[in-house]
Amino acid sequence: MSRFLNGYELILASNSPRRAEILNLAKVPFQIKTPDYREEVLNSEKPEILVQKNSLKKAESISAEIQSGIILGADTVVVLEQEILGKPKDEEEAFLMLKKLNGKWHQVYTGVALLNKNNSRQITGYEVTKVKFNSLTESQIQEYIATGDPLDKAGAYGIQESAAGGLVEKIEGNFDNVMGLPLHTVKKLLSQI
């Protein structure tokens, strides 16, 4: 993926350790800048529009601090039967989200935005992955919530933790997308910017 950067520095507009982990595993050199933007979750918007808009706003929120390079913003939401689930506010909301997802298929949308500070170009894209939850008891859901893991993740779960913990039964599509950064989409967009 580094070849698509054309020698430019990549700046990740995120405080997500999962997104940083994905880039590290791909051996992509990057810097991290925490965006000054709180994601909006509007059920009136189509999820693919929402995640692209949020990812672009994250990238734009750090743009003034960056002189050159390519800024990467990303945003992830979970969609169950047309309801968009963002990050839970607290453990109670996490429990309600996980109860809704229990035993059901849902979609994970991740939007990606790139801002090239060298030529002022910007581009957005998104990816969708289908995920099926196992059927869980309320005590299993409570045990997972007690780990603290659900509170900073869209839909109140992280696929990287839940695969070991038994939350997810099946996935159709890109695992990295469910973690919050679809590398395939990032590469495709980098080749166009």
64 to 58, 118, 168: CA distances (angstroms): 12, 13, 40
Q: Give the predicted TM-score (pTM) of the model.
A: 0.91
pLDDT tens-digit readout, 124-181? 999 999 999 999 999 999 999 998 888 889 999 988 765 546 889 999 999 999 999 9
Instruction: Give the CATH number, domain containing residue 16.
Output: 3.90.950.10
Amino acid found at 151: L
Active site residue 90: no
**In total, how many domains does the chain have?**
1
Residues, the chain: 193
Residue 87 CB-half CA count within 13 A:
14
pLDDT tens-digit readout, 67-109? 999 999 999 999 999 999 989 999 999 999 999 999 999 999 9
Q: Which domain holds residue 82?
A: 2-190
Q: CB under 8 Å to 111, separation ≥6 — which residues?
A: 48, 50, 51, 52, 53, 54, 55, 56, 74, 75, 76, 124, 125, 126
| Cα(25)–Cα(15) distance, integer angstroms | 17
Among 36, 75, 149, 176, the active-site one is 75
Tokens 């009136």 belong to which residue?
44
